[in-house]
Structure 1
Amino acid sequence: MLEVKALPLAELRRRSSEKWREYPEDVLPLFVAETDFPLAPAISATLQQALDIGDTGYIASRSPLAEAYTDFAQRRFGWTVDPSRLRSTADVSMGIVEILRRVTQPGERVIVTPPVYPPFYDLVAEAGAEVERVPLRDTGTRWELDLDGIRSAFAEGARAILLCNPHNPTGTVHERESLAALAELAEEFGAAVISDEIHAPLAQPGTGFTPFLAVNDAAQRVGFAVVSASKAFNLAGLKCALMVTADDATSSVVRGLPVEVEWRTGQFGLLASIAAFSEESDEWLDGLLRTLDENRLLLEDLLVTHLPGARYRIPDAGYLAWIDLSALEWGDNPARRILREGKVALHYGPAFGDEGRGHVRLNFGTSPEIITEAVERIAALVGR
């Protein structure tokens, strides 16, 4: 059984990425979605070989990337994907924008489901559309899509929905029945569903993750999925994502994108993604999932012990914790005080939408020691 452990803090501080350069060294950075683990061995070996032979040119017009992903999807999700219906681009955000530009007209409305990944609002605007907010429903035990609200928005003219599955920041894996109902609603109103599935490889075993395009025939007809190895394997800076379709009409939309959309894929991103999606990396990914499972449970224990006023639901997927600190009465954006006085950088809750007031997002894709110190620093602010 492969054990995947975070690198030591001193080594992490040698990194030059956003997580380790935004704040001074006295701050614990748990805000941006980067992880603190070493690369999967197959990825390191692939990139080293490319460096050794100077394989740093343009991406090839033909590569095994599509087949690598289809094999991965079959192994990990039981999802059969046609490799001829895949096309790469630089990242998930770019794929979303390019698809939105072709399924909506300027000024038309696109549904987002807050609290949600903050760039979604900007991506809709970049595509020339307008945001229609239909917040997730809080059942008291989990979050779910508000299908009645989505129906109303479609009925009033929304032309697409930007789905986050698994959902960021809550870590929710949307249930198959809910996704199937969403697909049928979209088809009824002639709308498109663009599903951001960047966190899919990080769904914990037993959560029942279902790719949107796999739920039913309607989903195949209305849906586009955008996937990447970047979150699970920490490859965001290498630039590679895949746009996936399952129907002739939707595939035609993606095939019709300018060739430059595909040429923006990074060569190192492509090579690293092939290695990540290979069977050789499965053991590493399984080890990562075990580590994240331990970390999400550790965080729960720490919050119960040190911050009993915090409300936290263990996420189904990923390494991001959505924590409600409203009871502490630290204002709409408690992350500001936590950064200023506790020297812990968390993602600002209100950035995810009005539903994020009083909340923070914490990245637990790190070591138990850093998670523990972060919670203890935050707890020390209580009563000050």
Structure 2
Amino acid sequence: MTRIPHETSGEPNPLRTLTLDRLRCRSSMKWRTYPEDVLPLWVAEMDVPLAGPVVRAVTDALALGDTGYPSGTAYAEALSAFAAKRWGWDGLEVERTTIVPDVMLGIVEMLKLVTGPGDPVVVNPPVYPPFFPFVTHLDRRIAEAPLGADGRLDLDVLEAVYRRAVAGGGRAAHLLCNPQNPTGTAHTAGELAAVAALADRYGVRVVADEIHAPLTAGGVDFVPYLSVPGAENGLSLMSASKAWNLAGLKAALAVVGPAATADLARLPEEVGHGPSHLGVLAHTAALRDGTPWLDALLTGLDDNRRLLTELLAECLPDVGHRPGEATYLAWLDCRALGLGDDPAQVFLERGRVALNSGLEFGTGGAGHVRLNLATTPEILTEAVRRMAAAVR
């Protein structure tokens, strides 16, 4: 498929701004977990400066001493306007939203509303590793419906797992990653409508993690789960966190379909005390005023996807790689390299490049690594060359 490039915004590419020395001054997990001789291309933090509107919103609040508790619906209003303009979705009603501390804690709260202890939660591995411990610590059990070999939802497998999940007469939920992490698959409207139809047939409640929603490649559309026919009783978690690099400014929104309004009404009021007020201000500013910066980022990510494809073809031609349709993550099949089930360990020890081990992502992850390409072209290039040297 030929992808249409993103529109130019006049903003500089955020991925070409910071030097390695400057990045090493950061004190976040990405830059402090490994020694300084390691290039960190693992955890989902981007090597970018913040968007100007976000910086202004936070610094203005600090100057004013506006550091209390969050209030109001400005975040939901900004997300609703963004969804309408960006995705053509007018169905995000502010009245069917509530702020939650972050996406994963929001997922926990949504699962509490639609399932009980011991109930199954369907996931599609290989998938975001925290899905597994968060579900099990909630005293729910994982039911795997693995992705197909093409990295897309396997609807036949999904139906079989749904059928087993509800066979005992209990409740079940499907924790859907949309877009998918780590494969970068952007589920289509047809795929999501098929999920909704199956969920309706078997009485499964879908909870969609849509944190990567704004991060699509050029020419690829994001489809909100709640926008497809049959998803009226679905629940979604959205945030500006990933697209604007705001993981340290925690805030997210739970959004539900019209048939799930009663479920949302049962959410304890104290859940809304968890988000950071500064986080809410930052996320609101990003969605409302940060789209030129986002457009520049998306263009830079498209460039890096092309660069990674070229580097792998040149340096590691035996690595399987399908450029992602969304996210800034690349899922690399390293099985042909003969490095065993955990090639990330080899790349770390011999190449001094930190990647995510595919084993953490569940079924289908052995022999794979996840690479974060939201970095400078220079770091990405050096990382792949180190990886290649590690297997010679």
Q: 1:341 aligns to what? A: 350
- Structure 1 residue identity aligned to 2:382: E
What TM-score do the two structures reach when normalised by structure 1?
0.96
Matched residues, percent identical?
48
Q: 2:169 aligns to what? A: none
**Displacement of 1:157:** 2.6
Distance (whole Å) between structure 1 residues aligned to residue 226 and residue 137 of structure 2: 25
Would you say how many aligned residue pairs link Structure 1 and Structure 2? 375
* Contact 1:225 1:243 survives alignment (8 Å): yes
Q: 1:33 aligns to what? A: 44
1:274-307 deviation line (CA, Å, top 9, x unaligned): 10110x2111111000000000110000000001
Q: 1:273 aligns to what? A: 283
**2:226 paired residue among 173, 194, 213:** 213
SS in 2 for 1:15: coil
- Structure 2 residue identity aligned to 1:220: E
- Structure 2 residue identity aligned to 1:179: L
1:226-256 deviation line (CA, Å, top 9, x unaligned): 0000000000111100000121x41221221
Between structures 1 and 2, the one with greater helix share: 1
- Structure 2 residue identity aligned to 1:336: Q
**Displacement of 1:58:** 1.2
**Displacement of 1:152:** 1.3
Distance (whole Å) between structure 2 residues aligned to residue 242 and residue 229 of structure 1: 9
Distance (whole Å) between structure 1 residues aligned to residue 220 and residue 14 of structure 2: 23
Flag structure 1 segments of 5+ consecutive residues without an equivalent.
none
- Structure 2 residue identity aligned to 1:236: A
**Displacement of 1:4:** 2.0
Higher mean displacement: 268-277 or 200-209: 200-209
SS in 1 for 2:284: helix
- Structure 1 residue identity aligned to 2:162: F
**2:313 paired residue among 304, 319, 341:** 304
Distance (whole Å) between structure 1 residues aligned to residue 137 and residue 237 of structure 2: 17
Q: 2:191 aligns to what? A: 178
SS in 1 for 2:232: helix
Matched, 1:323 2:335: no
**1:145 paired residue among 137, 153, 164:** 153
1:285-340 deviation line (CA, Å, top 9, x unaligned): 11000000000110000000001111110000111000011111011000011111
* Contact 1:101 1:128 survives alignment (8 Å): no
Matched, 1:294 2:324: no
What TM-score do the two structures reach when normalised by structure 2?
0.94
SS in 1 for 2:242: helix
SS in 1 for 2:198: helix
Distance (whole Å) between structure 2 residues aligned to residue 204 and residue 11 of structure 1: 27
SS in 2 for 1:238: coil
Q: 1:332 aligns to what? A: 341
- Structure 2 residue identity aligned to 1:57: G
Task: Please give the residue correspondences for 1:161-176 in structure 2 after superposition, counting only pairs within 5 Å.
Answer: 161-176=174-189
Higher mean displacement: 253-262 or 31-40: 253-262
Distance (whole Å) between structure 1 residues aligned to residue 387 and residue 319 of structure 2: 11
Distance (whole Å) between structure 1 residues aligned to residue 147 and residue 363 of structure 2: 12
Distance (whole Å) between structure 1 residues aligned to residue 384 and residue 161 of structure 2: 40
Matched, 1:79 2:89: yes
Distance (whole Å) between structure 1 residues aligned to residue 198 and residue 318 of structure 2: 39
Distance (whole Å) between structure 1 residues aligned to residue 268 and residue 218 of structure 2: 38
Distance (whole Å) between structure 1 residues aligned to residue 94 and residue 85 of structure 2: 15
Q: 1:255 aligns to what? A: 265
Distance (whole Å) between structure 2 residues aligned to residue 205 and residue 256 of structure 1: 39
Distance (whole Å) between structure 2 residues aligned to residue 214 and residue 99 of structure 1: 18
Distance (whole Å) between structure 2 residues aligned to residue 307 and residue 204 of structure 1: 23
SS in 2 for 1:50: helix
* Contact 2:218 2:302 survives alignment (8 Å): no
**Displacement of 1:206:** 1.8
Task: Please give the residue correspondences for 1:369-380 in structure 2 after superposition, counting only pairs within 5 Å.
Answer: 369-380=378-389
1:91-131 deviation line (CA, Å, top 9, x unaligned): 10001011111211111111100000000111211222100
* Contact 2:87 2:221 survives alignment (8 Å): no
1:131-158 deviation line (CA, Å, top 9, x unaligned): 00110011xxx32111111111221234
Distance (whole Å) between structure 2 residues aligned to residue 352 and residue 303 of structure 1: 22
* Contact 2:125 2:361 survives alignment (8 Å): yes
**Displacement of 1:8:** 1.0
SS in 2 for 1:202: coil
- Structure 2 residue identity aligned to 1:276: A
Q: 2:4 aligns to what? A: none
* Contact 2:113 2:266 survives alignment (8 Å): no
Matched, 1:108 2:119: yes
Q: 2:74 aligns to what? A: 64
**Displacement of 1:33:** 0.3
Q: 1:157 aligns to what? A: 165
- Structure 2 residue identity aligned to 1:264: G
**1:196 paired residue among 190, 209, 224:** 209
* Contact 2:358 2:368 survives alignment (8 Å): yes
Distance (whole Å) between structure 2 residues aligned to residue 252 and residue 243 of structure 1: 14
**2:25 paired residue among 9, 14, 17:** 14
**1:357 paired residue among 361, 366, 381:** 366
1:48-78 deviation line (CA, Å, top 9, x unaligned): 1011111111112x24111111001111111
* Contact 1:98 1:127 survives alignment (8 Å): no
**RMSD, matched Cα:** 1.0
